[in-house]
Amino acid sequence: MVDGLEPGPRTQLILNGDEVAAGVGERLTAADLNIAVEGTASLEVVQNGEILWQKDVPTIPGWVSILPPLIAIMLAFLLRSVIPALFVGLVVGAWAVNGMTMPGAFKGFFEAITIYVVNTAIDPDHMAIMVFTFLIGGMVGVISRNGGMVGIVERIMPFASSTRRGQGVVATLGLAIFFDDYANTMIVGNATRPMSDKLHISREKLAYLVDSTAAPVSTIAVITTWIGFQVGLIDSAIKGLDGIDMTPYMLFLSSIPYSFYPFLAIFFVFLVVYTGKDFGPMYKAEKRARHSGEVVCPSATVSTDKSGEDFYHKGDIPCRAINAVLPIVTMITTVIVGLFISGEGETITDIIGSADAYGVLIWASLLGCAMAVALSLGQGILTLNETVESWLAGGRFMLTGLVLLVMAWAVADVAGVLQTAPYLITVLGESLSPYTLPTIVFLLAGATAFASGSSWGVMAILMPLVIPLCWAVLQSHGIADAEHMHILYSCIACVLTGAVWADHCSPISDTTVLSSLATGCDHMDHVRTQIPYALVGGGAAVLLGVLPAGFGLPWFLLLPCGAIAIVVVHRFLGKPV
């Protein structure tokens, strides 16, 4: 509106006859105005007593600024589809920017795409994240199609000589295939199902083992198909926040120790496997499978999934683990070396913090793809066309996430124009306790993900809101310093992990549905048997992790406390099958 004016000491902004803003040394924009009137206002720019610019401008009340994210959350609940919810929220935001008039609605509908989506997509940092995400998805597609992933499974399968060892093999494979939750679920679930049936492991237990070592592992591993999405959201959320000088990648790494639920969920899996004890509906399912040999409930309805065929290896080819291991090792090594090459400083923290994380991630995924392609073509396992098709198929699996990411960036941009974060700060800054904020964020993320069924969608909606709000709450309480940065780290972790926790409880979660399909388990049987385990892990994470961590207790003491609590609960509830 008045962007481009370089104000001097005698520059004035006059709204309805009253001076509302004046500045020195900064560019004045419409976002700098705290307009408290509705309807139309007369705005003038006066410098040295001379009117340089005058116009009647539409104004909106402050509460309108929270409509885009609020509508997105509500529609995610109602529609159970996040992309349409984000789009509607974006259009409402663009409408609000144009004054919430009838002409503004027409203009805002088109500007949602032509301005906000286009501008956020062509941002160099955003494009780097999208390229990395697409490349790593393509690499997963190639090493799945050339039999490398199945080769890893076949190498570990001989250790499954008993029921306990068989469950341990499934859980270990879940950790080994750590870089993508979909690939993990499809490959581990389908490859271990015959072994699981032979050992009389119930399909419900198999689905639980696969589901609980997929998303929890992917959300905390430092090189996964999730990381570009997560870092991209953090990057968008911290723009314009004074006082945060850490890179988005460093913020993500700092949040990992506060990701209590994924760590405790993985620990719980191995505890159940080691002790051979179960409780609740899972105990009944396991008892049925052991005693009668019925691995599937007689009344179950089992579906077969064809949507993940791109992750199945080509028939009649040798499945060699090296074809997956080498590309993965290449990628991880490139990240480590690249961070040290592009970073500067004396400590590891300084080096990683100053490194070109986006560039390094692209180097790593590109070299990983090149290694996977070279192995496939060099051994004659895949033809050139088959290699390209498998790479594109893997990339297509990332398309939904990329669309979500672009929409989230666009909503964050429109929220920035509407000053959503400052408005929330004004309304909630004094009333919210910074020490309980991570717990509130975890529960909010969990509730939204349970209703919408999409952990990525919830991350996309909440991250651009939570980080500015958390930082503002810290500033309003005078504790926005290094000593209290753990609260910000914890809030970031709670957006990510609260969504994953709800994914394990929600019957409409995409990963939960996929786990049921890949393991041949009745979907509602999987949900019914997994919920008690997820609630125990989530309860321990909130009460003994997130909540006390907000008050400053160190994470390295809280994680063992959460694990001990799970052991105690499991000891009292669990019964040997």
Structure tokens at 144: 């799945």
Task: Check: CB of residue 529 under 8 Å from CB of residue 505.
Answer: no
What pLDDT score does 555 carry?
94
Specify the length of the chain in residues.
577
Closest CA to 570 of 247, 270, 262, 259: 270
Q: How far apart are CA 460 and CA 136, in angstroms?
A: 20
Alpha helices, DSSP H only, in 14-123? 67-79, 82-97, 102-111, 118-121
Separation between Cα atoms, residue 421 and residue 443, nearest integer Å: 20
**DSSP 3-state of 314:** coil
- Residue 59, CA distances (Å) to 65, 107, 346, 425 in order: 12, 16, 51, 20
The pLDDT assigned to 56 comes to: 60
pLDDT at position 10? 41
Domain extents in the chain:
11-59
Per-residue pLDDT at 18: 53
Q: What is the pLDDT of residue 20?
A: 47
Residue 361 φ/ψ, nearest 5 degrees: -65, -35
Per-residue pLDDT of the chain (577 residues; tens, 9 = 90+): 344 444 443 444 444 455 544 433 333 334 444 333 344 556 666 666 666 666 665 566 667 777 887 888 788 767 767 788 888 989 998 888 887 778 888 888 998 899 888 888 888 878 887 888 788 888 888 988 888 888 888 888 888 888 999 999 899 988 887 767 776 787 788 778 878 888 899 999 999 999 999 889 888 887 777 887 888 889 888 887 888 888 888 899 999 999 999 999 999 999 999 999 999 999 999 999 998 888 887 776 655 444 455 556 767 788 888 998 899 889 888 888 888 888 887 777 677 767 787 788 888 889 999 999 999 999 999 899 999 999 998 888 778 778 877 887 888 788 777 777 667 666 766 678 899 999 999 998 888 888 766 787 788 888 888 998 898 888 888 888 888 999 999 999 999 999 899 888 888 777 787 788 778 888 888 889 999 999 999 999 999 999 999 999 999 999 999 999 999 999 999 999 8
CA distances for 368 relative to 133, 253, 327, 363, 405, angstroms: 12, 22, 5, 8, 23
pLDDT of residue 41: 55
pLDDT of residue 428: 67
46 CB neighbour count, 10 Å cutoff = 17
Per-residue confidence (pLDDT) for residue 4, from 0 to 100: 41
| Structure-block tokens of residue 555 | 């994470």
pLDDT of residue 2: 41
Q: Which pLDDT does position 178 carry in this prediction?
A: 74
User: CA nearest 452: which of 517, 397, 399, 404?
Assistant: 404
Rounded Cα distance, 508 and 24, in Å: 53
**Distance separating alpha carbons of residues 182 and 160, to the nearest angstrom:** 23
* pTM for the structure as a whole: 0.74
Termini Cα distance of the chain: 70
Enclosing H/E stretch for 51: strand 50-59
